[in-house]
Structure 1
């Protein structure tokens, strides 16, 4: 399965988001995903299996619990692939930042020159 096929599913993306903060048990992941997506525990297990089989997660046994963690290797590969296209939006973000700065300069009111400042300095 291609990395984008794995990441194309919102349930699997959510599982990876949950794992971004650190290792979690299959039960914890299942409870969150079941509540948010309304899917069964076997369906959650299938998504975990797809992530594991495609190298996106690791799993280790801790007694009767299975603890999942992110494996960053395939995510680095996705980032490298996306990197070839990053310049398209980087140029636009730079242009947007420039426009925002210009807009702020144009919105600033000019300091008023009146006699009160000069009178106070005397």
Structure 2
């Protein structure tokens, strides 16, 4: 089944382990054992996560001597951010309308009526 690139990116980002791997790769290239270190999962499990990230275009892999290093490819993240930016404008507009409605509501409120205790000073 063919998936568009943006859907592949969001699907890959849906898993917290993969998001953590991407954060780690922001510090630089790493091999599978280094990426597996903070997780309670096996290296083959991390390799499967890397394959998903690679398929989404978020990671590239290269061989240096005997090591196979993973490298963060940030361009698909930029494309996802551009797509989400449209919704940020929508939400900001919605929040601005809510702020205006709240301000109008608060301006229309009348002060509470005096209680009998307040009038006892007369």
**Shorter-chain TM-score tier:** 0.5 to 0.7
Q: Distance in 2 between matches of 1:72 and 1:11?
A: 17
3-state SS, counterpart of residue 37 of structure 2:
helix
The two structures have a TM-score, normalised by structure 1, of: 0.65
The two structures have a TM-score, normalised by structure 2, of: 0.65
Counterpart for residue 104 of structure 1? none
Q: Distance in 1 between matches of 2:70 and 2:19?
A: 14
Asked whether the 8 Å contact 2:32–2:43 carries over to 1, the reply is no
Provide runs of 4+ in structure 1 moved above 6 Å.
Answer: none
Counterpart for residue 70 of structure 2? 68
Offset, 1:42: 1.3
Asked whether the 8 Å contact 2:18–2:49 carries over to 1, the reply is yes
Among residues 18, 27, 36, which one is paired with 1:30 in the alignment? 36
Q: Distance in 1 between matches of 2:84 and 2:26?
A: 20
CA RMSD of superposed structures (Å) = 2.1
Higher helix share: 1
Gaps (5+ residues) in structure 2?
100-122
3-state SS, counterpart of residue 11 of structure 1:
helix
Counterpart for residue 119 of structure 1? none
Asked whether the 8 Å contact 2:12–2:18 carries over to 1, the reply is yes
Q: Distance in 2 between matches of 1:28 and 1:90?
A: 40
